[in-house]
Amino acid sequence: MIFPTLLVITAFLQPFTTSSADSRCTNIGGSCFDWRYHKCIAGYETGRCSGDNNRRCCKPCDNTCASDEASYDDRKCEDMGGACMHNSNYCAGRYFSGHCGGPAARQCCTSGSEGSCNLIEYSSAHIHGHNGLEVRVHRDFVGAMNKLNTYAGACHVTVYVTNAFRKAGQNLDGTVVPPATTSNHLVGHAIDFNLNTPNGWCNSACLAGQQNSAAKCFTDKAMNSGLRWGGVWNTPDPVHIDDGLNVYKYDEWKTLYYELHNNCS
Ligand SMILES: [Zn+2]
């Protein structure tokens, strides 16, 4: 009786091999892929798969999701030679909003080559640019932005971004100057913001005071998710949220600084 033995072994091994390593992904119905080679319709989440940072969790796409995807009008994107996809997918060029059908996170990835700018023009239901500011962040910060969008919705606030990616100074000949500070704004891994809340507008002083319950709900959730809120720093910066790339992964920060300052206008 070989078959039952195999069955037992398989049932025993599985939880301890592939499925346990990726269980944070499979538990939500997703599958782990190398995001560079697999397009994921419902979008990727990081931190749910074993292996290096290129293995990401592709969220499940049910029948409704699949038929919606097929029904969107993407002609504006196709006309510019791009492809529409959830903006957590790998895009060798850069993403443009307003060129694809469907939710705001579905954006147009233009085919790019080495040396292209990997900033994404971000927009979502609960996060907008203040006074029409174009919110540009690095593609690896989109996951953080999507989390903040979720928290904003849960706390009934709207995030108005006053500052996202910003360039440092350049020499007159256009060469990149080494940065004076290692701000995460210089690599598209930070935002400055004010909030519109049910209790009124919440600016820097209001955020710092932590008396506005909806605003506190938002900044608490951001901190609990592993992001950094500047309001609790020794030198407080209550309008600022980032992922600490300059502190935790300085080498990556430096690489990104030169990449974005050479390739992004
Ligand atoms: Zn800031």
pLDDT digits (tens, 9 = 90+) for 6-44: 444 444 444 444 557 899 999 999 999 999 889 999 999
| pLDDT digits 0-9 by tens, 237-246 | 999 999 999 9
- For residue 129, name the pLDDT band (cuts at 50, 70, 90): very high
Q: Would you kindly state where each structural domain of the chain is located, as residue ranges?
A: 25-71, 73-116, 118-265
| pLDDT of 94 above 80 | no
Between these two residues, 251 and 89, which has the higher pLDDT value? Answer: 89
Compute, in angstroms, the gap from residue 237 CA to the centroid of ligand 1.
Answer: 7
Compute, in angstroms, the gap from residue 50 CA to the centroid of ligand 1.
Answer: 32
Q: Stretch 223-230: mean pLDDT, rounded?
A: 97
| pLDDT digits 0-9 by tens, 179-215 | 668 899 999 999 999 999 999 999 999 999 999 999 9
Q: Residue 111's pLDDT is what?
A: 65
Compute, in angstroms, the gap from residue 190 CA to the centroid of ligand 1.
Answer: 6
CATH number for the domain running over 118-265: 3.30.1380
| DSSP states along the chain | -HHHHHHHHHHHHGGGTHHHHTHHHHTTT-EEEETTT---SS-EESSSSSSSTTEEEEPP--HHHHHHHHH---HHHHHTTEEEEETTS--SS-EESSSSSSSTTEEEEEP--TT---EEE--BTTEEEGGG---EEEGGGHHHHHHHHHHHHHTT-EEEEEE-S----B-TTSPBPPPSS--GGGGT-EEEEEEEETTEEE-HHHHHHT--HHHHHHHHHHHHTT-EEGGGSSS--TTEEE--HHHH-HHHHHHHHHHHHHH--
Compute, in angstroms, the gap from residue 147 CA to the centroid of ligand 1.
Answer: 18
Q: Stretch 215-239: mean pLDDT, rounded?
A: 97
Mean of all residue pLDDT scores within the chain = 87
